[in-house]
């Protein structure tokens, strides 16, 4: 059994959370200010996940900022970045447009910037 200390990144408060881990499972969570922090801490010690932000190329040579719509496994970050790097989109693109329906394990790739037609 071990106690893992985490800083919750789910909101700006940044609660310091202690998670007691036994046999690869979170058996006790303390210090979280709300249920989101409890869920974050439980996931973080078992299978940490992150929203991936990056850029993709447009067919006219620009870079468009993008992100996944949900967190993906941190352990798969290089694989996900490789998949994102292979994406090329044709303008016009607007913020919020879904560029790939399932870039990785059900996560959508979404535009976080605009690429109007030149």
The contact set with ligand SF4 (CB under 6 A) reads 8, 10-11, 13-15, 32-34, 36-37
Query: What tokens appear for 80 in the block?
Result: 């996900």
Nearest residue (CB) to ligand SF4, 11 versus 98: 11
In angstroms, give the least distance from the CB of 3 to ligand SF4.
17
DSSP H or E stretch at residue 11? none
Least Å distance, CB 76 to ligand SF4, is: 24
Residue 80 C-beta: closest distance to ligand SF4, Å = 24
- Tokens representing 18? 């202690």
46 in helix, strand or coil? helix
The residue number with the shortest CB distance to ligand SF4 is 37
Alpha-carbon span 74 to 90, nearest angstrom: 29
Rounded Cα distance, 77 and 88, in Å: 19
Q: Which of 33/65 has CB closer to ligand SF4?
A: 33
């Amino acid at each position: 059994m071990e106690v893992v200390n985490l800083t919750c990144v789910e909101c700006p408060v940044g609660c310091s959370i202690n998670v007691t881990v036994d046999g690869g499972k979170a058996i006790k969570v303390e210090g979280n200010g709300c249920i989101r922090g409890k869920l974050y801490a439980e996931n973080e010690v078992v299978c940490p996940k992150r929203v991936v932000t990056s850029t993709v190329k447009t067919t006219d040579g620009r870079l468009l900022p993008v992100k996944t719509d949900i967190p993906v496994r941190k352990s798969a970050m290089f694989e996900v970045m490789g998949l994102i790097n292979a994406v090329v989109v044709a303008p016009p693109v607007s913020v919020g447009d879904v560029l790939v329906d399932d870039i990785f394990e059900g996560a959508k790739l979404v535009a976080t910037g605009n690429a109007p037609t030149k």
